Amino acid sequence: MTRYCLTIEYDGSNFVGWQRQTSGPSVQESLESAIEAFTGEPSTTIAAGRTDAGVHASGQVVHADIARVAEPRMVLLALNHHLKPLPIVVRNAWPVGPNFHARFSAKRRHYRYRILNRSAPAALERGRVWWVPEPLDLEAMRQAAVCLIGHHDFTSFRAAGCQANSPLRTLDRLAVTAQGEEIYLDLAAQSFLHNQVRIVTGSLKWIGNGRWPPERMHEILEARDRTQAGPTAPPHGLCLTAVDYNDS
């Protein structure tokens, strides 16, 4: 039995999320089925981030114990073969030590939220961006984002059903940038609360469209009350882009 680390990407549109559930197809279930088809043995996969329904990933990291002796390239090719035609691809596969844990060994997770800010909706990028037709003030969004960086109680940006033991988190990065008609929100932290990125995004959108002034973000943070924050942005604009480990 060899423990493998896998970097995978997937379109989360038609999945109930990463985690196996009875309510529909999950990325985890699909990947485990591909591993079993390759090895003939069941395997449990562990992901660095348990993405929600509709959320995508370009740099999800997973570990799995694979009961077949094979070169890493064969593992990669075989799993991709058995994943067809699902929108899941194994980008890299390599053996790691038995103590490696995709979730608990992770030092930082990176997410990007994409907003398409133009009058016309998306065609080619439909299902990958949040279309916001009204103009957004990029500088106001940047000013508001600054107060969220650092170690804070993020209760206001936490889903009601969040199961984390503590609302305290350290947000290492929150960058608001633009490229053409898109606005990117890039966030990095060791861990996030349930829906934290999407609630931050929804709140920044309301600041960007002038509903709130930039100073409102600090008031929301201090309130420690979910009802004070903006809406939860839709899942399809969110993508898990990378996970950092000690050797990264």
**Residues identified as active-site:** 52
Token pair 């002034």: residue: 213
| Sign of the torsion formed by the C-alpha atoms of 141, 143, 144 and 147 | positive
| Sign of the torsion formed by the C-alpha atoms of 229, 230, 235 and 237 | negative
- What are the residues facing 10 on neighbouring strands? 57, 88
Give 40-61 as a DSSP string.
SS---EEESS-PBTT-EEEEEE
Q: How many other β-carbons are positioned within 10 Å of the β-carbon of residue 73?
A: 10
